Structure 1
Amino acid sequence: MTTSTRITKGNAAEHQRKDSQEIYFYGTCLIDLFLPQAGIDAVRLLEREGLKVLYPQAQTCCGQPAFNSGYRREALAVARSQLALFQKPIPLVIPSGSCAAMFRKDYPDLFRHEPEYEAALDLASRVYELAEFMVDVLQVQLCDQGAEEAVILHSSCSLRRSLSAHDQTLALLGQLNKVHLQEPDRASDCCGFGGTFAVKQPALSAALTRDKCANIEASGCKRLVGGDQGCLMNIDGMLQRQNSDIESQHIATFIWQRTS
């Protein structure tokens, strides 16, 4: 099967050319600063499917912290600089439901009365979260080479509610036939991160995180995986303070290690 066949399968956007073999990759600031290996492994997964991954070096924050805090003018300045980086009519793949939701759902709102509105709509139509792209567009078939393991999954609020892409994450991880995948009780509850929410409401944030960690601990799993680095850092920080032996891992690294 050729790359051009794979990239136009499933729910690929209408604008994608049949001969397209290139995609953009947006690394996110949290992955870039705190867990670059997850970004590297995500790129490896995409390149293994025969794609040419373009990574504009000028990419920075997507503008979500400012946007969610009500600073629309400041968010617009950041978003405008990012919008200019992804002009080719090819998919933009993001290893984060939160950032993907900002590009797909919030950019059209942010640019509604701006000259770049049509460009923002076009970019929004080309945005995919990593697992969503691998399942819906590439239709990858994973071969699990790891040992038997029980793993618990955390999906972010953005992935579940803004993108409705939680099922794709389940489908992708479900291909790993030696992984016994679980979700915690009250899986759709927020982990307490919420970007600047964790700073503005630290007591409430910590209470939500403690509840999430208790449900994760109750599963008996020793590995936590997720697709949003902010959530993973927040949960992992609480688990470490509780002297937990649960290891957290971005799904890009988890999948790469089990299939390569």
Structure 2
Amino acid sequence: MNNQPKPIVPGEPVYVQIFIPCFIDQLFPRVGFNMVKVLQKAGCIVNYNANQTCCGQPAFNAGFRGEAKDVCSKFIKDFSGTDYIVAPSASCVGFVRNYYSKLFDNSSVHNEVKDLNNRLFEFSEFLINVLGVDDFGAVLNAHATYHDSCAALRECGIKQEPRKLLAKVAGLQLTEMNDVETCCGFGGTFAVKFEPISIAMADQKVTNAANTNAGIIISTDMSCLMHIDGYMKGKETNMQVMHLADVLASGW
């Protein structure tokens, strides 16, 4: 589901608040830094609220609605204002966009949630659909394939945006894998609760990726890539994973 962005006023600065998901903060901070690097090259004035924590998705998905609502309430306060909010994770964006309205329906913050949704974007959709910029002068001499995360594809309606950006990366050859829209098997707590199924799905995804002869798997979601990478390391597969932000920040 694509939201309706507030319009950019020509000649005025574009202010962006970045939301850094828990696993990016703890495990893959370079993705956050590279996202900032690209946003700044696009001319955005980027700010980071150090008080931010989680979007609430882990607690919500585990069935702890009350605890999730407390965390979500903090998120709403942390990202109040008028700035755009950009995150390197369609999973987190999709959760806020699709479930906050249900958690806070008919509440005192209903309108705040509605406004939040109109300002919140996944990284690639912000670059393409809001800024209208697809070329950052990135260079990556590699053969890659792309993984559509379930959250990006099904919860945010993101399909062509990352591909438009990757098409402008000099030296990058992109080959689509079979069953590209099939889940990688992560699903957050799904991978823990249903480990055998999760591993089988990862195996299918990696097999399809390997059949393209690509050396890199790219995605909008580091959560998917973390799962895929963990499986590949266990199988001693030579492919690597890269977040879209890392690709766009390459070579300059």
TM-score of the superposed pair, with normalisation by structure 2: 0.93
Report the CA distance shift for 1:77/1:15 in structure 2 as closer, same or farther (over 3 A). Answer: farther
Which shifted more, 16-25 or 80-89? 16-25
- Once the two structures are TM-superposed, the CA of residue 144 in structure 1 deviates from its matched residue by 4.4
Separation in 1, partners of 2:140, 2:200: 35
In the alignment, what sits opposite 1:8? Answer: none
Aligned pairs for 1:242-257 (under 5 A) are 242-257=235-250
Which shifted more, 187-196 or 147-156? 147-156
- Once the two structures are TM-superposed, the CA of residue 194 in structure 1 deviates from its matched residue by 0.4
Amino acid in the other structure paired with 2:5: A
Structure 2 alignment gaps of length 5 or more: none
Separation in 1, partners of 2:72, 2:140: 43
1:14 to 6, 11, 23: 6
Indicate whether 1:76 and 2:69 are aligned: yes
Indicate whether 1:202 and 2:189 are aligned: no
In the alignment, what sits opposite 2:142? Answer: 149
TM-score of the superposed pair, with normalisation by structure 1: 0.91
2:113 to 112, 115, 120: 120
1:31 to 8, 16, 24: 24
1:139 to 132, 149, 165: 132
Amino acid in the other structure paired with 1:21: V
SS across alignment from 2:203: helix
Separation in 2, partners of 1:17, 1:112: 31
Amino acid in the other structure paired with 2:175: Q
Report the CA distance shift for 1:143/1:28 in structure 2 as closer, same or farther (over 3 A). Answer: closer
| CA deviation vs aligned residue, 1:133-177 (integer Å, no higher than 9, x gap) | 111111224254535421111121010011111211111111124
- Once the two structures are TM-superposed, the CA of residue 62 in structure 1 deviates from its matched residue by 0.6
Amino acid in the other structure paired with 1:168: E
Count of matched residue pairs: 249
- Once the two structures are TM-superposed, the CA of residue 206 in structure 1 deviates from its matched residue by 0.9
In the alignment, what sits opposite 1:225? Answer: 218
Report the CA distance shift for 1:153/1:73 in structure 2 as closer, same or farther (over 3 A). Answer: same
Report the CA distance shift for 1:166/1:39 in structure 2 as closer, same or farther (over 3 A). Answer: same
1:170 to 163, 172, 175: 163
CA RMSD in angstroms comes to: 1.7
Indicate whether 1:94 and 2:87 are aligned: yes
- Once the two structures are TM-superposed, the CA of residue 124 in structure 1 deviates from its matched residue by 0.9
SS across alignment from 1:84: helix
Aligned-residue identity in percent = 31
Separation in 1, partners of 2:250, 2:160: 22
Indicate whether 1:56 and 2:49 are aligned: yes
